[in-house]
Amino acid sequence: MSDAHQDTNTSKHIVFLDQATFPDAVTVRPPAFPHSLETFARTTADQAVERAKDADIIILNKVPMRAETLAQLPKLKMIAVAATGTDNIDLNVCKERGIIVSNIRGYAIATVPEHTMGLMLSLSRSIRPYHDSVAKGRWGEAAQFCYFDYPIFDLKGKVLGIIGDGVLGKSVAKLGEAFGMEVRFSTYKGVDGMGPLYTPFERILSESDVITMHCPLTDSTRNLLGPAEFDQMKKRPLVLNTARGGLVDERALVDALKADKIAGAAFDVVTTEPIPDDHPFLEVMDHPNFILTPHVAWASIETIQGLADQMVDNIDAYVAGSPRNVV
């Protein structure tokens, strides 16, 4: 039935529903209290109840925990989220039931900003199209030592518009400043009076050379960038999203790229993952100024090991009576 391992002489039963979201190189240390552990590589929404029905504690990353699922898990006392995002969990039901939900915080402070800057540099230096052209023989056919088929521009002096002022947005800001960029944090869309450290959202759209998303996905941020926003991007910026799928209207982004309203785009996330066969991004996979990576901005080995350690710390703290990182 499963790739389960279980120790029956325990007081707390833990079920890890999607362990395959951790690479093999990462070690998950045992919790510090008596327990049994059952692990599954992957779990669908339909399988969750059967697999978690006896769990005191569930570990999950992306497995959905909606109201109808939670209603069938009467023993459940804690959900340890192996990530920061909790949009796959019905937090209201958990609060009503007294189920503690603890997530991971501050773990991606290096890996996501580094991935973001890697995407930014790849676009600004036209790394992908130059590499592809060399692979197709273009350099060998050139009349001189180099050729100028694709544009290259420096990041120094460019305006970096950051939407999202949390730890990741601030870390990207530091890297941008190290490259000599003029960093601006956006106000929340439709919110005024946030102070002199913020630039109005509309000016971020119209004045930025690069716009990068680092905010959570909520009802107010869903499709934050859509057709109307792309129309306001007067400087044809690069648009990056390493935060959450759904922050950007993906159909609108593809249309903007095809219409030359933006200079390029690089994404690590999409609204539905894995990406479906009819996703609009698949229309532009051969576009020289488009890059798509499969939700791996968070996935350096060092970072995932730190995440796993923090996850177990959260579980230990809950059992010790001092829950931490409670959502």
What is the reported pLDDT for 257? Answer: 98
User: 5: pLDDT confidence band, cut at 50, 70 and 90?
Assistant: very low
Residue 221 pLDDT more than 80?
yes
244 is catalytic: yes
Q: What's the average model confidence in pLDDT over 1-18?
A: 65
Provide the 10 A C-beta neighbour count for residue 18.
19
List the catalytic residue out of 207, 244, 250, 279.
244
Domain 111-292: CATH superfamily, name plus number? NAD(P)-binding Rossmann-like Domain (3.40.50.720)
* The pair of three-digit structure tokens given for residue 94, joined into one six-digit string: 């958990």
As a whole number of angstroms, the distance between CA 114 and CA 119 comes to 9
Cα-only R_g, the chain: 22
Residue 6 pLDDT more than 60?
no
List the catalytic residue out of 177, 202, 273, 302.
273
Q: What is the pLDDT of residues 275-326, one digit of tens each?
A: 999 999 999 999 999 999 999 999 999 999 999 999 999 999 999 999 999 9
Looking at the chain, the domain(s) classified CATH 3.40.50.720 span 12-107+301-319, 111-292
DSSP H or E run through 290: strand 290-292
User: 192: pLDDT confidence band, cut at 50, 70 and 90?
Assistant: confident
List the catalytic residue out of 13, 51, 184, 295.
295
The CATH code of domain 12-107+301-319 reads 3.40.50.720
As a whole number of angstroms, the distance between CA 127 and CA 131 comes to 6
